[in-house]
Structure 1
């Protein structure tokens, strides 16, 4: 067993609780999709994942399991588990680095980024997708469209749960979205590094065709951010769903006519939330926004933030949500929404920091950056919804649609 496997270090991965035949497991998936296979780990062995931090060999991991968690595991079983994680490129080592480099090369060589969720979250067949979107619009009964607007907040939750909010937001924005000659699409980077702003020169495809990436604008942004930093996490574009799910609705609302796109993944703002600085105090973010403002000047540009709101309950490591908890959650969401509607980026972020983001708002960075890019602006709330996140109904994801003028 090589040194990197003897001292295993888990990469950022997607962990989800799962029940099967009355037993609890942790489902481990690779957000980069270097392997399509997944690992099911029995709940008692879940601490192994936290202990794989690159500082312990197998003997130390076994000892920590017994001392800290009272879990005994056979050495060969543990060795087999680590070997499986390595085989699927889930460990941060040379095997992973080589696989990542190959995947990135393939991604860049392709004519476009394919719609990764087609056939899973929405139909891959264009006609079936049209029918699905039409059904959402008919059921949502959206308000009359508005002709003037510069941006919107769209969810990035799956369509099955968030279809009503998608339909109401995009239908309301339809006239100015159809008139746009450029769309800046800021999406949550669920596995991005703290403060990362990640670009791609690759085009984005939907079942309706290809949305061409505005490469000169990407080039300008890369110069502002630094080429290496701007593309360090580019492969995350391949598997990240936030931009894709908004891009499908964008293409549909435009009656399948393409438009130039600037797809940008926005990493978490953990250091800002836990510190005392506003993101605008970061020269890199300030340069990014200044460059983007210059790029959209004189264009019929629309800014889209693809972000959800709160993630609360056992599915996200919290306590079960009861009626009182739901009322508290709605009140705290309403406070954030008030700042968003007022175009108050500083107030929005101050509220997130005040609560230390205890509700796990999954759109802090794209929402904040959209507000800064659009300021001065005001908006209107189009829809708000609490979506179930577990079978017991004790976990929820809150989402909303907002239009900015």
Structure 2
């Protein structure tokens, strides 16, 4: 079985195992959200220095362990096929994570989802979630799903979500579905400045844009998440995965959602050249 080695260890998060565990532990100890019997979450995927507070809050909100964690993230590089899973073992500084082979085979059957490790080799959106899972839970396998943004249309998102829920039901697996996504990417570094103003005006507008999408998530409205991001050309980089997670979570019995934390990179960087919004959302 092939090994998928980490590509952003030492950049997005510490490469040294002890330093990484301490970093995550320090973030987790600062958050005390109400814990839920969670089916799905939305979690950011930036460097921990920027979004660690939000990641800690949402991972700390999950009350129980799982047999299988399905991770759905955007394919920023565009490598490989459009919608891809992988049977590789994923290596992190904290140890190896094995794929749930029977789950992967089930979602790949007569499906838009193909098994293609190339789609994951250079992508960070799923990788950065894994150390948090390793620090919070034990004895789970993973199902990585990478989606090229050109495949973020409504029909594809619904098919991916349905495949996840059907596999979980058929295999009788207790699952957590992680939708990996940042929210608005604003500033000249991203080539996205649909509005300007002083710092507080910019931050207020970014939050308003993000909250429009977040409100749809909180109402479990997968269709509205996908349509809003698509029609308004928003820079929510993983909205397809959010939509897929919501379709699956509703099929699996989710009734509510909660915004556990919201932040922006400005809180750390103090720069308006590049501002990214981060939301931690629990679906239960």
TM tier, smaller: 0.7 to 0.9
From the two aligned structures, give the one with the greater helix fraction: 1
Picking from 370, 380, 388, the partner of 2:258 is 380
Is structure 2 residue 97 aligned with structure 1 residue 230? no
Tell me how far 1:120 sits from its aligned partner.
Answer: 2.7
Tell me how far 1:327 sits from its aligned partner.
Answer: 1.7
Tell me how far 1:263 sits from its aligned partner.
Answer: 0.5
Describe the superposition over 1:358-388 as per-residue Cα deviations: whole angstroms up to 9, x where unpaired: xx11111111111111115320001111113
- Correspondences of 1:5-404 after superposition (within 5 Å): 110=2, 112-138=3-29, 141-173=30-62, 175-176=63-64, 179-192=65-78, 196-225=82-111, 230-231=114-115, 234-254=117-137, 257-269=138-150, 272=153, 279-280=154-155, 282=156, 286-297=158-169, 298-319=172-193, 322=198, 323-357=200-234, 360-375=235-250, 376-388=254-266, 392-404=271-283
Question: Any conservation in 2 of the 1:212–1:258 contact (CA below 8 Å)?
Answer: no
RMSD of aligned residue pairs (Cα, Å)? 2.4
TM-score, length-scaled by structure 1: 0.63
TM-score, length-scaled by structure 2: 0.88
Counterpart of 1:262 in 2: which secondary structure?
strand
Question: Any conservation in 2 of the 1:224–1:287 contact (CA below 8 Å)?
Answer: no
Tell me how far 1:286 sits from its aligned partner.
Answer: 4.8
Separation in structure 1 between the aligned mates of residue 145 and residue 237 of structure 2, nearest angstrom? 15
Q: Relative to 1, partners in 2 of residues 1:373 and 1:271: Cα closer, same or farther, differing over 3 Å?
A: closer
Separation in structure 2 between the aligned mates of residue 292 and residue 393 of structure 1, nearest angstrom? 38
Separation in structure 1 between the aligned mates of residue 22 and residue 151 of structure 2, nearest angstrom? 40
Tell me how far 1:295 sits from its aligned partner.
Answer: 1.4
Counterpart of 2:72 in 1: which secondary structure?
strand
Separation in structure 2 between the aligned mates of residue 270 and residue 152 of structure 1, nearest angstrom? 21
Question: Any conservation in 2 of the 1:187–1:307 contact (CA below 8 Å)?
Answer: yes
Question: Any conservation in 2 of the 1:211–1:258 contact (CA below 8 Å)?
Answer: no
Higher RCO structure, 1 or 2 (CA under 8 Å, sep 6+): 2
Tell me how far 1:390 sits from its aligned partner.
Answer: 7.3
Tell me how far 1:401 sits from its aligned partner.
Answer: 0.1
Question: Any conservation in 1 of the 2:41–2:281 contact (CA below 8 Å)?
Answer: yes
Question: Any conservation in 1 of the 2:67–2:139 contact (CA below 8 Å)?
Answer: no
Structure 2 unaligned regions, length at least 5: none
Tell me how far 1:221 sits from its aligned partner.
Answer: 2.3
